[in-house]
């Protein structure tokens, strides 16, 4: 109880306060409040179009709030200059949906790129870290000479994770890390995310609509619901809790998503088309 009391009084690493985002008059996120403590693995869950990726981009200042604030480690992101934001982002690692590797570079050059851009590393240090991170994601050194196009989708995803880890970030952001992968490779990526968390202190935010990831990987799940299907005063966060309680949630919207039930949603879509 004493430890829990102390932890509850600590300032969260990330705070989202009364956040709303609008694009061309259309609201994507509305009145979002969220606190993420250091070391937590959080999944942002929800169907396509509910604002998951927009929220993640807002956490690093790539999108400015229409209203509200994002606080990272006590700093209000949107009072920072572009130069200050760039320095702050060095504390983050990014795993993009399609890996976002440079097609013209070898895998070795892709992995070394953040170190060459943002650090003062010797050639020997770069080679050592590249090899270490590649081994952590279970890839052989033979891939270092290859180009991204020569690798499978799962291998490219693992290279993307290795690149995200190369600078030992405090926070890792994952955008749909298992999209397009078969069940076996999906489990590989999920296991690698879990292993990354165990290798050292890191805060992780994972955007996904994959239930296997939501159930297996995080400490906490936050589920968003599309604004277009909410009443004006309904909260957009429809679930915030441990993954083990998702299946017992009484909210019909959460149960439908968790169980993959299209009935009510299909009726809504048919109604929209008829209208």
pLDDT for 26-43, tens place per residue?
999 999 999 999 999 999
Backbone angles phi, psi at 213, to 5 degrees: -70, -45
Nearest to 178 by CA among 64, 45, 77: 45
pTM, entire model: 0.87
Q: Given this model, what pLDDT does residue 262 score? A: 62
* pLDDT tens by residue, 7-28: 344 678 999 999 999 998 899 9
Q: Which of 108-112, 192-196, 262-266 has the lowest mean pLDDT?
A: 262-266
Q: Tell me the two tokens of residue 154.
A: 């799962």
- Residue the block writes with tokens 């102390």: 6
- Whole-number Å distance between alpha carbons of 14 and 36: 5
Residue 3 has pLDDT above 70, yes or no: no
SS3 label, residue 18 = strand
Residue 142 has pLDDT above 60, yes or no: yes
- Whole-number Å distance between alpha carbons of 58 and 83: 17
Residue 5 has pLDDT above 50, yes or no: no
The alpha carbon of 216 is separated from its chain's Cα centroid by a whole number of angstroms, namely 15
Q: Tell me the two tokens of residue 98.
A: 């399609």
Q: Given this model, what pLDDT does residue 272 score? A: 53
Q: Tell me the two tokens of residue 145.
A: 């000479």
- Whole-number Å distance between alpha carbons of 77 and 83: 12
Residues 6+ apart with CB under 8 A from 47: 209, 226, 257
* pLDDT tens by residue, 205-255: 999 988 999 999 999 999 999 999 999 889 999 999 999 999 999 999 999
Q: Given this model, what pLDDT does residue 25 score? A: 86
Domains plus CATH for the chain? 12-274 (3.40.50.300)
Q: Tell me the two tokens of residue 80.
A: 């920072």
- Whole-number Å distance between alpha carbons of 249 and 227: 20
In the 8-state DSSP scheme, what is residue 12?
P
């Amino acid at each position: 109880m004493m430890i829990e009391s102390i932890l509850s009084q600590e300032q969260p690493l990330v705070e989202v306060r009364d956040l709303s985002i609008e694009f061309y008059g259309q609201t994507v996120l509305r009145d979002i409040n969220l606190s993420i403590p250091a070391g937590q693995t959080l999944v942002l869950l929800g169907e396509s179009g509910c604002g998951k990726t927009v929220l993640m981009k807002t956490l690093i200042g790539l999108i400015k709030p229409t209203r509200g604030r994002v606080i990272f480690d006590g700093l209000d992101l949107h009072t920072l200059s572009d130069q200050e934001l760039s320095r702050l982002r060095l504390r983050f690692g990014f795993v993009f949906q399609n890996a976002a590797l440079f097609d013209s570079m070898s895998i070795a050059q892709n992995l070394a790129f953040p170190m060459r851009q943002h650090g003062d590393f010797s050639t020997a240090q770069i080679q050592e870290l590249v090899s270490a991170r590649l081994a952590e994601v279970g890839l052989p050194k033979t891939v270092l000479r290859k180009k991204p196009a020569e690798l499978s989708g799962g291998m490219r995803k693992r290279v993307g994770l290795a690149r995200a880890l190369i600078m030992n970030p405090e926070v890792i952001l994952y955008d749909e890390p298992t999209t397009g992968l078969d069940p076996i490779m999906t489990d590989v990526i999920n296991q690698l995310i879990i292993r990354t968390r165990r290798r050292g202190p890191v805060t992780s935010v994972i955007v996904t609509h994959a239930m296997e990831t939501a159930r297996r990987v995080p400490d906490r799940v936050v589920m968003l619901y599309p604004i277009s299907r909410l009443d004006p005063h309904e909260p957009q966060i429809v679930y915030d809790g441990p993954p083990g309680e998702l299946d017992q949630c009484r909210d019909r919207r959460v149960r439908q998503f968790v169980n993959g039930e299209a009935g009510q949603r299909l009726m809504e879509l048919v109604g929209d088309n008829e209208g």
